[in-house]
Amino acid sequence: MTVGWDADPVVTAWPGLPRIDRTLIADACVVGLGGSGLAAVAELVDRGLSVVGLDAGRVGAGAAGRNGGFLLAGPSAFLHRAVDIWGSSSIDLYRATLAEIDRLEALLGPHVIRRSGSIRLAGLPGEPVNDAQITDREADLADCARLTAVLRANCIAVEDYDGNLGRGIFLPDDAAMNPARRSLGLAAALAPRAALYEHSPAVRIDSGTVHTESGQVCAPVILVAIDGKLELALPELGGRVRTARLQMLSTQPVSPGRLPCPVYCRWGYDYAQQDVDGRMFVGGGRDRFIDSEWTTDTAPTHDVQRYIEDVAHRMAGEPVTVSNRWAASVGYTDDGRPLCSEVAKGVVAFGGYNGTGNLVGPLAARAAVALALDGLAIPDYFCD
């Protein structure tokens, strides 16, 4: 299964990391080297600890490198809804994720992190095809207005959008990226400071030891930075986090500039961005096939892919040719708050980002480090 993001020359030139083949002793071990795991490694080495990091495949080859590449501030729920559910802590999370975009831009540069803003569109681009779509678009637009009011009340930048794609809102502080390039860029910067290993899946995690098929890591602090399939890695989290499949595709180039920034529409369920060469990266549709998408299987399916291809056509405003199709596992929690919890002595797990881990994940990583090393309580916008 070829992922469209991997066509980037920086990704194709990745030299790879070794596979663990012996017993290692370190101050800390991080399991999972996506965006959150790499943030945990960075925080630990900045504190002067020796760190071993393990990934089951290539760095960024899971959901960290297979998502839509959106850097959207805030929680998984739209902010006005999150405020109703969680209270003011959701505003704290929004501000923290805005700061995380700044942090990533400073670390990786504008060639990786594009401060393009994002568009939340009411409905799909183009004219509605039936009365149900008309009604849904009107309700979606009204919800955009409610979100706008809460954003402005908290001095968060937002503008009305009325353009060739339709109507909605524009959030100028958001950003876009190639998610695989982001993960590999972070890994490359950390490799001289930590012992990082690819293709080294953890087969058992105990207090003090992470076991793999070809080696083990002995460490008093173990951070499990897995989002999708977290409940398989740590069965004690069963019932607290649940794995879903998110599917995407990429297209051959279409008219450049059609999407000026990441666009998410139909209540955020469908999404796309376009690179400088005109290729589109499109995902969504999980809500329309919800029963089949609660799964740990990462094989794309015909029905969802057919739906996403129609979304791609409407996003492009012209016929599209699909170049790649893929899927990834992500974790969901019941109340939408990401998980950050000590599950055994010295073992802290974080994940369950509800499809929005690109910015929340690094925040959870630092909270996990503070919990493990300092005994600090996690922020209210995470669940323990």
pLDDT of 89: 95
- Tell me the C-alpha to C-alpha distance, in Å, between residue 161 and each of 99, 205, 284, 285: 24, 48, 21, 23
Q: What is the distance between the alpha carbons of residues 155 and 168, in angstroms, rounded to a whole number? A: 19
Q: Residue 4 carries which DSSP code?
A: G
Q: Helix, strand, or coil here: 346? A: coil
Tokens of 119: 């568009």
pLDDT of 265: 96
Q: Residue 77 carries which DSSP code?
A: S
- Quick one: which of 287, 258, 286 has its CA closest to 273? 258
* CB proximity list for 253: less than 8 A, separation 6 or greater: 277, 278, 279
Number of helices (H), then strands (E), in the chain: 11, 20
Q: What is the distance between the alpha carbons of residues 376 and 37, in angstroms, rounded to a whole number? A: 19
Other C-beta atoms lying within 10 Å of the C-beta of residue 242 = 18
Contact between residue 311 and residue 285 where contact means Cβ atoms under 8 Å apart: yes
Hunting for tokens 């998610």 — which residue is that?
179
pLDDT of 132: 87
Taken in order of first residue, the domains within the chain and their CATH numbers are 4-67+179-241+335-374 (3.50.50.60), 118-172+242-332 (3.30.9.10)
Q: What is the distance between the alpha carbons of residues 279 and 252, in angstroms, rounded to a whole number? A: 5
Q: What is the distance between the alpha carbons of residues 151 and 81, in angstroms, rounded to a whole number? A: 12
pLDDT of 2: 85
Q: What is the distance between the alpha carbons of residues 230 and 325, in angstroms, rounded to a whole number? A: 24
The tens place of each residue's pLDDT in the chain, 384 residues long, gives 689 999 999 899 999 999 999 999 999 999 999 999 999 999 999 999 999 999 999 999 999 999 999 999 999 999 999 999 999 999 999 999 999 999 999 999 999 999 999 999 999 998 888 888 899 999 999 999 999 999 999 999 999 999 999 999 999 999 999 999 999 999 999 999 999 999 999 999 999 999 999 999 999 999 999 999 999 999 999 999 999 999 999 999 999 999 999 999 999 999 999 999 999 999 999 999 999 999 999 999 999 999 999 999 999 999 999 999 999 999 999 999 999 999 999 999 999 999 999 999 999 999 999 999 999 999 999 988
